Amino acid sequence: MLLAAEWLRLGFSVNFVLRQRRGALLDQLPQGAGVVDLRARRVRNAVPALASYLRSNPPDVLLVAMWPLTTAAVLAGWLARYRGRLVVSDHSPLSLAYAGRGWWHRLFLRSSIRLAYARADVRIAVTSGVADDLATLSGLDRRLFRVIHNPVAGEGAGSRNLELPALLRPRCGPVILTVGTLKKVKRQDLIISAFARIKPSFNATLCIVGDGPERNRLVSQAASAGLGGRVVFPGHVSDPAPWYAHADVFVLASSYEGFGNVLVEAMAHGLAIVSTDCPVGPREVLAGGRYGRLVPIDDAGALANAIEEVLEAPPDPGPGREWARTFAPDAVSMHYVSAMINTNLQLAGEDS
């Protein structure tokens, strides 16, 4: 959405080609963008429909994000004899995201990426770690993958004028915040375990913003730990800015990430950050720990200690806010333009 809005502002024509025209994000499409509904129930059904669209309305550039849609689009382009620029993009380390699916699935994953991505004009990964994973998984030359970080909106970030969320009233002590889908890989359970170890004298509150399949288990865990009202679950919120604005520490405890947009959002709001040093995003987003504490994965004690340390000695928020600006949509959109129109322009923060 952010990239499309920037491209429209620059005068490009943008169409969203959807497998099915439905979902919560439809009302967030930027004004001026077109929508094409392929009416395909499954990814495999989208191939002939996309091929038909490419034959009848071939765009100059086709940008497709996330496997297996990427390989399906390459196949559709081949069927349609599409002559435009075909750009594929991945946002997570696929070898980790699909681990445990069995040898057949891994063989299909490896071979489909190798065959399809070799035919793409540009291959984009959101971090160097994702690019390394794709190269290893596919056997393709690492130099074929171009790294362009995710765009993250941060306009007005850091303002404390946003209304205090009702669940934080009255606010007596520091607020520890995490934002994300409540699923196992995000390890909100580890954050609760770490929070239970933090000294009661801090009088801190833990806010777990988001919703997902792990919600009931996490609520039960907090209750069983005797944390009561000290852990709040606001659920999904369309705009988490007020939560960032009134928090003191942001915590990410994922087992793995592709990028970690929430880390940039937290930096833009001037929060102290504690994150697991998981594959593959946080270390890169936080510049090796320059803009946040990195701790080992699956270590509640280390996580708790790091949180206590930043509560006792909060870091200067200025450098993190400045670093967060490098992920601004206007800057990132130009990295994509450089890739999509086949220029040799090298922009700051881009790895070719």
- The pLDDT of 326-334, averaged and rounded, is 94
CA 196 vs CA 205, 305, 312: distances in Å: 11, 12, 17
| Span 215-235, pLDDT tens digits | 999 999 999 999 978 999 999
| Span 283-301, pLDDT tens digits | 999 999 999 999 999 999 9
The CATH class given to the 2-151+328-340 domain equals alpha beta
pTM of the model: 0.89
Alpha-helical runs (H) found in the chain: 2-9, 43-56, 69-80, 94-97, 103-117, 128-138, 188-197, 215-224, 241-245, 261-268, 282-285, 300-312, 317-324, 329-340
Per domain, the residue ranges of the chain are 2-151+328-340, 166-326
Separation between Cα atoms, residue 142 and residue 335, nearest integer Å: 19
Separation between Cα atoms, residue 291 and residue 282, nearest integer Å: 10
Separation between Cα atoms, residue 346 and residue 335, nearest integer Å: 8
Amino acid letter, residue 59: P
Residue partners of 335: CB distance under 8 A and separation at least 6: 148, 149, 347, 349, 350
Q: Give the whole-number percent of the chain exceeding pLDDT 70.
A: 94
Q: Which of 47-61, 83-97, 202-216, 328-342 has the lowest mean pLDDT?
A: 328-342
- Return the CATH number of the domain spanning residue range 166-326: 3.40.50.2000
| Span 107-135, pLDDT tens digits | 999 999 999 999 999 999 999 999 999 99
pLDDT of 24 over the 80 cut: no
Separation between Cα atoms, residue 298 and residue 194, nearest integer Å: 10
| Cα 297-298-303 angle, rounded to 5 deg | 75
Domains 2-151+328-340 and 166-326 share a fold: yes
What is the pLDDT confidence band of residue 350, given thresholds at 50, 70 and 90?
A: very low
* Beta-bridge partner residues of 86: 62
Concatenate the DSSP letters of all residues of 53-106 into one string: HHHHS--SEEEEESTTHHHHHHHHHHHHT--SEEEEEE-S-HHHHTTTS-HHHH
DSSP state of 20: S
